Amino acid sequence: MIKQERMKVVRHKQIADDIFELTLIGQLSLEMKQPGQFVHIRVSDSFEPLLRRPISICSIDPEHMEFTMLYRAGGRGTKLLSLKQPGDEVDILGPLGNGFPVEEANTGETALLVGGGIGVPPLYELSKQLNAKGVRTIHVLGFQSINNVFYEKQFSELGETYIVTADGSYGTKGFVTDLLAQLNPEFDVFYSCGPLPMLKALEQTYPDKKGFLSFEERMGCGLGACYACVCKTTDAVENDYLKVCSDGPVFPRGVVAL
Amino acid sequence: MIKQERMKVVRHKQIADDIFELTLIGQLSLEMKQPGQFVHIRVSDSFEPLLRRPISICSIDPEHMEFTMLYRAGGRGTKLLSLKQPGDEVDILGPLGNGFPVEEANTGETALLVGGGIGVPPLYELSKQLNAKGVRTIHVLGFQSINNVFYEKQFSELGETYIVTADGSYGTKGFVTDLLAQLNPEFDVFYSCGPLPMLKALEQTYPDKKGFLSFEERMGCGLGACYACVCKTTDAVENDYLKVCSDGPVFPRGVVAL
Amino acid sequence: MNRLQVELPGLSLKNPIIPASGCFGFGQEYAKLYDLSKLGAIMIKATTLEIRKGNPTPRVAETSSGMLNAIGLQNPGLAHVMEYELPWLEQYDVPIIANVAGTDTTDYVAVAEKISTAPNVKALELNISCPNVKCGGIQFGTDPKTASELTAAVKAVSKVPVYVKLSPNVTNIVEIAKAVEAGGADGITMINTLIGMRLHPKTGKPIIANGTGGLSGPAVKPVAIRMVYDVSQQVNIPIIGMGGITNAEDVIDFLSAGASAVAVGTANFVDPFVCPNIIDELPQKLDELNCEKISDLVGRSHR
Amino acid sequence: MNRLQVELPGLSLKNPIIPASGCFGFGQEYAKLYDLSKLGAIMIKATTLEIRKGNPTPRVAETSSGMLNAIGLQNPGLAHVMEYELPWLEQYDVPIIANVAGTDTTDYVAVAEKISTAPNVKALELNISCPNVKCGGIQFGTDPKTASELTAAVKAVSKVPVYVKLSPNVTNIVEIAKAVEAGGADGITMINTLIGMRLHPKTGKPIIANGTGGLSGPAVKPVAIRMVYDVSQQVNIPIIGMGGITNAEDVIDFLSAGASAVAVGTANFVDPFVCPNIIDELPQKLDELNCEKISDLVGRSHR
Ligand SMILES: Cc1cc2nc3c(=O)[nH]c(=O)nc-3n(C[C@H](O)[C@H](O)[C@H](O)COP(=O)(O)OP(=O)(O)OC[C@H]3O[C@@H](n4cnc5c(N)ncnc54)[C@H](O)[C@@H]3O)c2cc1C
Ligand SMILES: Cc1cc2nc3c(=O)[nH]c(=O)nc-3n(C[C@H](O)[C@H](O)[C@H](O)COP(=O)(O)OP(=O)(O)OC[C@H]3O[C@@H](n4cnc5c(N)ncnc54)[C@H](O)[C@@H]3O)c2cc1C
Ligand SMILES: Cc1cc2nc3c(=O)[nH]c(=O)nc-3n(C[C@H](O)[C@H](O)[C@H](O)COP(=O)(O)O)c2cc1C
Ligand SMILES: Cc1cc2nc3c(=O)[nH]c(=O)nc-3n(C[C@H](O)[C@H](O)[C@H](O)COP(=O)(O)O)c2cc1C
Ligand code: FES
Ligand code: FES
C-alpha cells in the first residue's frame, strides 16, 4: 500500500562523486516488495523547492524496517537532501509504480542486468531477489568515469559484474553495448535502467530477447493523477500514452516509443 | 560600518515563552557601538522566507567578538531562526540605524528606562552603557504574563527594576504607566521601546521630560533605500516622513506622530 | 450543525475543500490514500468531446514556490468519462464538478449538455482559461463578449448550475467576471494558472516542451487573493477561490477575500493528504477566530 | 575586450547588471557598502514633479518567494533630485537611468524634459506601470493607445533615449510593447510588479495599508521570463529584463529569453551585495557555457 511517512535517517554517506547512499527506517519499508519501484521525497518543509523528487528503491531490509536509496546530488533538491543527518526525518511517499517483474525469470535461468549511471541502483534489489530465487545474474554497469563508479563490490557478490566507463578510466572503455558486443553473454531475460540511448541500443542489440526497461520522466504527483509524466507508446500498444509513475516506471520492451 | 557576515551561533536558548536568547560571534560585533541599533537577519538560504528580519542588539561583548539578541519566535522567520544550533551560521547585516543617545544623560543623573514586551531587549545594552558612565538607571518592564518575563535579574544588577504584567501574574498588575503613576520616580531623561500605546502614554505622562523612543515598522532593505519603513512626523519636524531603519529606530520624543 | 457546511448553487458541500481540476485526475489515485467522501466536492480533470493526447513532455517544471505545467488537457474524452469515471465516483458521497473544455462553442456545448446529465455531476466548471492549448481555452477567457456568449450557450443546455473558471492573464478580471455573470453564470471559479516559462540553464531553451506553461502553487497566491477580493465585490454570484492553497490558513485567506469555497491544486502533489488534513484543521482555526460557522468568514476583508 | 560589455541606446554598460528602480534609492545607502562604479548602470527611484509622500504604512508584506510593496512613489521631487541626488551620483563612473513618473502627460513631460538634461542621466525609464498609485502609473501602461501617445510626448522633449517600463498586469503585453515602439521608444524595461494582496490571518484585512501591492521577487520570475521571451521576438528595440533575479543564472535566463541587460530589485534587500556578487560570478558562468561575450547569449532561447 502507498503510504506517507516521516522516516528517520539511519545512515547517510557519500559513496562516489556526488553520489549518496541514504538508509531510512520506518513502517513504510514494510510495504516495499518489488524492485524497481520508487519513492517520492519531499526534501524540505518549505516550498523551496516545492515538488517531490522521485528516487528508486535500491535495497529493502524489512527485517530492520529499513530501505536504502542511492542518488546523485545534482540539483537544488537533491543537494538539500544530501545535508540530512542521521536522526533527521525525511518525508517519503511510496512505494510507487510498478517495478521489475522478478517472476519473468525462472529458477535456473540467467538474467542480464544492464545499468547506466544513476540507473544502476534499482538493479541491486532486483539482483538480490533474482539470486534469492536461484536466477543467475550478469551485471553490466556503465559510468562516466572512475570517480562515478559505485556498488561494484555489492553487485560482484551476487554475480559476474562488468564495469564500463565512458572515458576508460576504469573497467572497459566505452558504452555498455560495446562491452556486451565483446562479451556476447548467454541469458534468458534482460532488465535495464539508464539513459534513453542505452535503453534504445539494448532493444536493438537483442531484438528477440524478453526484456524490461525502466524509464524516467519529470513528475508532478507521482501517483498517476496529473498526467505530467506520460511517455509515448509504440503502435503495438492500445493506449497512446502511459504514465511513467503509475503504469511504469518499468515497461516490457517494445511498449515505449524510443 | 555596516557589514554583512555569516556569524556563528555561540549560545542559543529559550528564556521565556517563545523568547529566545541568541549569541553570535564574528567581526561584525566590533562594529557595534550604540545601544538601540539593530541587525537585519536572513534566517534561511532559500527564498522562503524571503526578507530579512530586524532584531535589536541586546548586548555587545567586543572582548569576545560576540553580541546577543533576544527575540520572540512568533512567525515563520523567527521560528526558523529558533532552530539554529551552536556552530550554525547566521547571515547578519548590521549594525543598522541610530540607537539611543547615551550622551543625553550626564554622569550623576538618573535615567528612566521603560520597556514593553519584546521592546525590552535594546534597553539592556543601553542600561549597561549608562551605568558604565555613572548614570543611575530605573527600569520599568512590562510583560503580558509571568511566563513572558525575562531578564529581570540582569536588569536588577544594573539598577532598580520593576516588573509589570498585564494579568497581574507577576510583579504589579496593569500597564507600565499604572506603575509609573504609583512610583512617581525622579529622573532626568527617559528612554523607551515597546508597543505604540505605551510610547504614546509615556509622552503624555511626562510632557516636559527629555525622552527617546524606539519605533518598529515593516522593512524591506533596512538600509534606507526602499522607503518601506517610513513613519509620519509631527508638525514640529521639517521632513514629512522619516525612515525607521536609517533615521531611527530611535527618535527624540515629539518627532514621530503618535 | 455542521460548522463547515457551505451551500452554493447546485452544491451542498459538507466542507469548502475541493481538489482542483487537473490535480486530482478522476479521483482514483487519491482514493487509494483516503476516503473521497470526506471532500466537499471534486473538480475532475478537464473533459473534452474527443480523447486528447496532450502536449509532448517535459510537461512540468519547478519554479520558486511554484510549478509550471503544460499538460495540454490530456483526457480520455467525454464518452469514457461518462461510461467509466463518473459511475466509478458514484460510490462516494461527494458532489462532482465537471471541468468542461473545448476548441469551439459547439464542443463546449456538446460536452456540457451530456456531462451535466450524469447523476453525480452537480455543477459544471467551464474552463475558458487553460493557457496550455493552442485552440480553445484561454482566448475564450480574455475577451468579455466571447466569455459571456459561451457562458450563455452552455447555460442553455446544462442541466446543472454553471461556474466559469477565469484566467488571471487579463488586464481587467472584474470585467470578465461581470460578463460571465451577465451571460448567466451561477458562480465563478478563479484563478487558473498564470502564463510562465522556465529556461534550461545550459541550453537556454524552455524546459517545458510546449514552451510556456501555467504557473501555480504558493507563488501565485497573492495574485489570486487580490483578484478574488476585487471580483467578489463586483459580482453577485459566489466564487470558488484557488491559487496556492497549502493549508487551513490559506483557506481562511481566500474566504476572507470573498470566496465561498476553495479548490486545492498543486499542494496535492506536495502532500497527497493535504485536503483531508485541511478539513481536519479547519474547526480549530474557526475556534481561534471565534467564528461559529465558516461561511461567516466570507468576504470579511471588505466588510 | 570586456566580455560583459553591453551597448544599448544611450547606454554603454560595462556589464548588464543594473539595480532596479525603487530598490536602490538614489544610491547613497548602497554606496556605503560598495563602489557604485562597479555597476552597469543605476535605475534611480521614480521621480515626480512634486515631492510625494507615498502611501500609509505598512507598505510591504512578505509572500512565498516574493514580497508585496505599495510605497506609492514616495520621492523628494524633481527639484531635489536635480539639485542633490544626481550631482552626488556624478562622483561615480556609472550611467544613470532616471525613472520618470507622473499623474498626467504634462507631469511626465515636465519631469522628462528636465531630468534628461542632467549630465549623468543617459536614459529615461518611463514608469507607466506602477500599480500602487491612485492616478497615473498603471493606467498608462494597460492601454496601447495611451501608452503610445505618452511615449511620443516624452520622446519629443527628452534629450536622452527613452525606455518604457511595462506592466505585466495586461492581457497582451506584446501589443503594449509594439505600441510604445511605434510611439518612438528606444527600449523597453520589463516587468514591473504583478498586482497582489496579502491578508492578515487574524483580522482578515489586507496587511498593506494601500490594500493591494506589487508582487516582486523570485515568485514572479517565470512570468517575467515568458513575457521577455514573447516581446523580444516581436519588437526591434532592446529590452532590459527584470523580475525575481537573485543570481548569475537568473541573469543568463533573462538574456537567453531576449533581454540585453537586466535589473535586480528585491534581491538587494535579501543580499545587499547581490549586484557586485553577480558581476563577479558572470565571467565564470560564461566560461561554463563556452560563451565568449555575454551579448552572444541574448535571445538564444528562440534562435
Ligand atoms: C522513476 C524514477 C526513478 C529515479 N531514480 C533515481 C535514483 O535512484 N537515483 C537518482 O539519483 N535519481 C533518480 N531519478 C532521477 C531523479 O528524480 C532526479 O535526478 C531528481 O529529481 C533531480 O532533482 P534535483 O533536485 O537534483 O534537480 P532540480 O534541477 O532541482 O530538479 C527540478 C525539477 O526537475 C525534476 N527533475 C530533474 N531531473 C529529473 C530527472 N532526471 N528525472 C525526473 N525528474 C527530474 C525534479 O524532480 C524537480 O521537480 C529517478 C527518476 C525517476 C523518474
Ligand atoms: C528596529 C526593530 C527592532 C526590533 N527588535 C526586535 C527584537 O529585539 N526582538 C524581537 O523579537 N523583535 C524585534 N523586532 C520585531 C521583529 O522584527 C518581528 O517580530 C519579526 O520581524 C517578525 O518576523 P516573523 O518571522 O516572526 O514573522 P512573520 O509574520 O513571518 O513576518 C512576515 C514579515 O513581516 C515582518 N514583520 C512582522 N512583524 C513585524 C514587526 N513587529 N516589526 C517589523 N516587521 C515585522 C517581518 O520582518 C517579515 O518581513 C524589531 C523590529 C524592528 C523594526
Ligand atoms: C498539473 C496541473 C493540471 C491542471 N489541469 C487543469 C485542467 O485540466 N483544468 C483546469 O481548469 N485547470 C487545471 N489546472 C489549474 C488548477 O485547477 C488551478 O486552477 C491552478 O493550478 C491554481 O491552483 P493551485 O495553485 O492550488 O494549483 C491544472 C493545474 C495543474 C498544476
Ligand atoms: C520596494 C519596491 C519599490 C519599487 N519602486 C519602483 C519605482 O519607483 N519605479 C519603478 O518603475 N519600479 C519600482 N519597483 C519595481 C522594480 O523596479 C521591479 O520592476 C520589480 O520589483 C521586479 O523586479 P524584482 O523582482 O527584481 O524586484 C519597485 C519594487 C519594489 C520591491
Ligand atoms: S507524475 Fe502525475 S501522473 Fe505521473
Ligand atoms: S526598510 Fe528600506 S527604507 Fe527602511
User: What is the spatial order of strands in the sheet that C66-69 belongs to?
Assistant: C60-63, C66-69, C213-216, C194-196
**Please, what is the end-to-end C-alpha distance for chain A in angstroms?**
31
Helix (H) or strand (E) holding D18: strand D17-19
Please say whether the beta carbons of D129 and D141 come within 8 A: yes
Backbone dihedral region for residue B128 (phi beyond 0: left; psi -120 to 50: alpha; all else: beta): alpha
Give mean pLDDT, residues C200-214. 96
Give the whole-number percent of chain D exceeding pLDDT 90: 92
- pLDDT reported for residue C135: 58
Give mean pLDDT, residues A112-118. 96
- pLDDT reported for residue C137: 62
Interface partners of A (3+ CB pairs, < 8 Å)?
B, C, D
- pLDDT reported for residue C130: 72
Write the burial class of residue A131 (CB in 10 Å: 0-12 exposed, 13-18 middle, 19+ buried).
middle
Tell whether B44 lies on the interface with A, counting CB pairs under 8 A. Answer: yes
Measure B55 CA to ligand 2 centroid, in angstroms. Answer: 7
Task: Say which range, A70-84, B81-95, B228-242, C25-39, has the weakest mean pLDDT.
Answer: B228-242
Interface mutation vs chain B, best among A43, A46, A76, A83, most B CBs within 10 Å: A46
d(CA C25, CA C31): 11
Strand partners, A90: A7
Of D89, D106, D93, D103, residue with least CA distance to D44: D89
Cell of C291: 467564528
Give mean pLDDT, residues B171-188. 92
Write the burial class of residue A185 (CB in 10 Å: 0-12 exposed, 13-18 middle, 19+ buried).
middle
DSSP C236-301: SS-EEEESS--SHHHHHHHHHHT-SEEEE-THHHH-TTHHHHHHHHHHHHHHHTT-SSGGGGTTGG
For residue C57, which amino acid is it?
T
- pLDDT reported for residue C139: 74
d(CA B170, CA B149): 8
Give the whole-number percent of chain C exceeding pLDDT 90: 92
Between residues C200 and B235, which one has the greater pLDDT?
A: C200
Please say whether the beta carbons of B193 and B116 come within 8 A: yes
Residue D28 scores a pLDDT above 90 = yes
List residues of D with catalytic annotation.
130
- pLDDT reported for residue D137: 62
Give mean pLDDT, residues A116-125. 97
Give mean pLDDT, residues D148-174. 96
Q: Which residues of B touch D69 (CB under 8 A)?
A: 220, 226, 228
Measure C21 CA to ligand 3 centroid, in angstroms. Answer: 6
Bridge-based pairing state of the strands C42-47 and C96-100: parallel
Q: Binning pLDDT at 50, 70 and 90, where does residue A235 land?
A: confident
Write out pLDDT tens, residues C261-280: 999 999 999 999 999 999 99
C-alpha angle C163/C164/C167, rounded to 5°?
A: 145
Q: Binning pLDDT at 50, 70 and 90, where does residue D135 land?
A: low
Residue A237 scores a pLDDT above 80 = no
Cell of B86: 551552536
Write out pLDDT tens, residues D242-264: 999 999 999 999 999 999 999 99
What's the mean per-residue pLDDT of chain C? 95
Residue D282 scores a pLDDT above 80 = yes
Bond preceding residue C96 cis, omega within 30 of 0: no
- pLDDT reported for residue B169: 94
What distances in angstroms separate CA B75 from CA A101, B43, B78, D62, D207, one per listed residue? 50, 12, 6, 11, 14
- Ligand 2, atom nearest to B69 Cα: 8
Interface mutation vs chain B, best among C62, C63, C65, C246, most B CBs within 10 Å: C65
Sign of CA dihedral C270, C273, C278, C284: negative
- pLDDT reported for residue D134: 61
pTM of the shown model: 0.97
Residue D136 scores a pLDDT above 90 = no
DSSP E strands, chain C: 6-8, 11-13, 17-19, 42-47, 60-63, 66-69, 96-100, 121-127, 162-165, 187-190, 194-196, 213-216, 239-242, 261-264
Q: Binning pLDDT at 50, 70 and 90, where does residue B238 land?
A: confident
Residue with cell 516509443: A257
Nearest ligand atom owner, CA of A52: 1
Please say whether the beta carbons of A226 and A220 come within 8 A: yes
Cβ-defined contact of A50 to C273 (cutoff 8 Å): no
Q: Binning pLDDT at 50, 70 and 90, where does residue D158 land?
A: very high
Give mean pLDDT, residues C155-180. 97
Task: Say which range, A138-152, B237-251, C82-96, D40-54, has the weakest mean pLDDT.
Answer: B237-251
What's the mean per-residue pLDDT of chain A? 95
Write the burial class of residue A113 (CB in 10 Å: 0-12 exposed, 13-18 middle, 19+ buried).
buried
ipTM of the complex, rounded to two decimals = 0.96
Sequence-ordered list of residues with C-beta below 8 angstroms from that of D285, at least 6 positions apart, any chain? D248, D249, D252
- pLDDT reported for residue A170: 94
Write out pLDDT tens, residues C96-144: 999 999 989 999 999 999 999 999 999 999 999 877 666 566 678 889 9
What distances in angstroms separate CA A150 from CA A72, A121, A170, one per listed residue? 11, 9, 12
CB burial readout B51-60, b (16+ within 10 A) else e: bbbbbbbbbb
Of B155, B178, B182, B183, residue with least CA distance to B168: B178
